[in-house]
Amino acid sequence: MTSAAQTPTDPLHLAVALDGAGWHPGAWREPDAQPDRLFTAAYWVDLVEQAERGLLDFVTIEDSLDPQSDNHFRRDWRTDRVRGRLDAVLIAARTAPKTRHIGFVPTVITTHTEPFHASKAIATLDYVSAGRAGIRVQLAARADTTAHFGRREPLVLNPKQLNDPAVQAVIEQHFDEAADYVEVVRRLWDSWEDDAEIRDVATGRFIDRDKLHYINFTGRWFAVKGPSITPRPPQGQPVVAALGHATVPYRLIARSADVGFVTPHDQAGAAAIVTKIRAEQALAGRAAADLHVFGDLVVFLDNSRAAAEDRKGRLDELAGVTYASDAHIFAGTAAELADLLLDWRAAGLSGFRLRPAALPHDLAKITGALVPELQRRGAFRTAYPAARTSLRGLLGLPRPANRYALA
């Protein structure tokens, strides 16, 4: 969790990444898929309740500001895929009251939204969930997405340009902007002291004005005075997460996050990534800060490896393409996946975010087969800890002191 390497005795943390009918583009055509329920609250409640029955730490909920696309650089206009989304923060706010323990980390796009709005939305989620909220920050610099807002020049990219120094400089600026975004959000969460609300009917004082603070943030991309309109969240600071694939996003994780999601493809790759992130932590002056590094995997889970591989092959045929991902794709049994997770944990990963290839099938296998297998090996909890009711508590993260409170 901290800059020290994980040991085999440390508790394993598990999360799931929820996205539509699953991460495979053909998943919505599976016999047990529920495409007619994707835009209902009940669908998401069912998934999250299933994840909580598996004692998972949290769920992340994907989001975007443009229809999904198989092409990472432009809109594809395909009609044989799930297209369209509900807002991730609103899904979390609707489903959180149906649960008691599991955390909620919805995706928020930093590139075209305002940190003031995000801060109060996630603070509200923290209240709605009684201290189980987080935020996954994500960039969205594609030209077609930028055209929705008309406030900045579009970044037109193709795979051949990514190593161009000028393009890399622009990408780095976008990640620097995201880091400032997180800093503004965090300061706004602290802009009310914990005891700023008096609620004294006799004197007629609801708040102590001296315990509300201007944040007076001025940077290249944001100038925010504050304070927030929402009191300090129950966790003080909800959990901040980010996904990274290379040095620049690793730097964002190291500077700004409590949880970083990374995409190694073997144990050696995991160790190399953890080393890079810890080095970036030190450069950012956060060497002693608590920072989880989770490995991301797409999972096809079945009772045999052959069945899992056959299911992936059938879905590939339905989708008309061999599925590929930024993350490692696992197809096999719960026992084989447990072997992999425990092997990779030795590289310094403190947990894993599993992307179910098809919903609800692979989520049910994660909670009903993988979790019991890890429990049998003594590597995962058998109940939610009674003394750790917040998401920060579940992850072993301390509740931060308010930066503006006087000693």
Once rounded to an integer, what is the mean pLDDT over residues 61-83?
89
Q: Percent of the chain beyond pLDDT 70? A: 96
Tally Cβ neighbours within 10 Å of residue 293.
Answer: 26
**Cβ contact 230:190 at 8 Å:** no
DSSP structure string for 55-115: T-SEEEE---SS---SSTTS----SSS------HHHHHHHHGGG-SS-EEEEEEE-SSS-H
User: How far apart, in whole angstroms, are the C-alpha atoms of residue 101 and residue 58?
Assistant: 9
Output the domain CATH number for residue 276: 3.20.20.30
Q: What is the mean pLDDT of the chain?
A: 94
Q: Tell me whether residue 132 is in a domain.
A: yes
173 pLDDT exceeds 60?
Answer: yes
Any domain includes 5: no
For 262, phi then psi, to 5°, come to -130, 165
Structure tokens at 132: 């189980």
Which of 259, 249, 242 is closest to 1 using CA atoms? Answer: 259
Q: Has residue 91 been placed in a domain?
A: yes
Instruction: Provide the domain count of the chain.
Output: 1
pLDDT at 8: 54
Looking at the domain assignment, is residue 404 inside a domain? Answer: no
Higher local confidence (pLDDT), 358 or 77: 358
Structural domain includes residue 8:
no
Residue 403 belongs to some domain of the structure: no
The whole model's pTM is what? 0.95
Is residue 3 over pLDDT 50?
no
Is 402 domain-assigned? Answer: no
Q: Give per-residue pLDDT as tens, 365-381.
A: 999 999 999 999 999 99
Domain range for residue 86? 14-394
Structure confidence at residue 5 as a pLDDT band (50, 70, 90): very low
- The pLDDT-based confidence of 169 (bands split at 50, 70, 90) is confident
Rounded mean pLDDT of 302-323? 97
114 within domain boundaries: yes
Rounded to whole angstroms, the Cα distance separating 38 from 19 reads: 10
Task: Give pLDDT tens digits for 73-119.
Answer: 778 889 999 999 999 999 999 999 999 999 999 999 999 999 999 99
